[in-house]
Amino acid sequence: MPKLHHLALTIDLDKSAPFYAAVLPLLGYALEYCGDRLQVWKGSALSPEVLLYAVEGEDSRPHTHGRPGLQHLAVEVEDRGIVEQVHQVVVAGGFPVVHEPREYSDYSKGYWAVFVTDFDGNRWEVAHIPSLTD
């Protein structure tokens, strides 16, 4: 089975890189490289790298939910506490919270998630899914 090697996002590094600096370490990532045009975050051997590229060109409008493109990224975590921590650092950083942490029992019993975005409109779901992790 193929393995997702990396996830590459284009962001305004000045505005949205602090979002990733707050959230990715809670998900087990460490900053491996930081340059003027690129940041590389590494997780475990099974996790895809997260590459953050600087916006190029004149169109730097944020992505809006519902337009063509990536709808959201979902990361499964080991416990609800991590979901809550992500929510706390996002709120503390002034980043948008789309949906507060809550249970999504229509997805799966005990499914607990928060939906957040960076300032460029990239939406992330951080979820604890007991039926898969317990």
Give me the pLDDT at residue 102, please. Answer: 97
Give the residue from 97, 70, 62 showing the smallest Cα distance to 83: 97
Give me the pLDDT at residue 31, please. Answer: 98
Give me the pLDDT at residue 105, please. Answer: 92
H helix runs in the chain, sequence order: 13-23, 80-93, 130-133
Q: Which positions of the chain have pLDDT values less than 50?
A: none
Give me the pLDDT at residue 131, please. Answer: 74
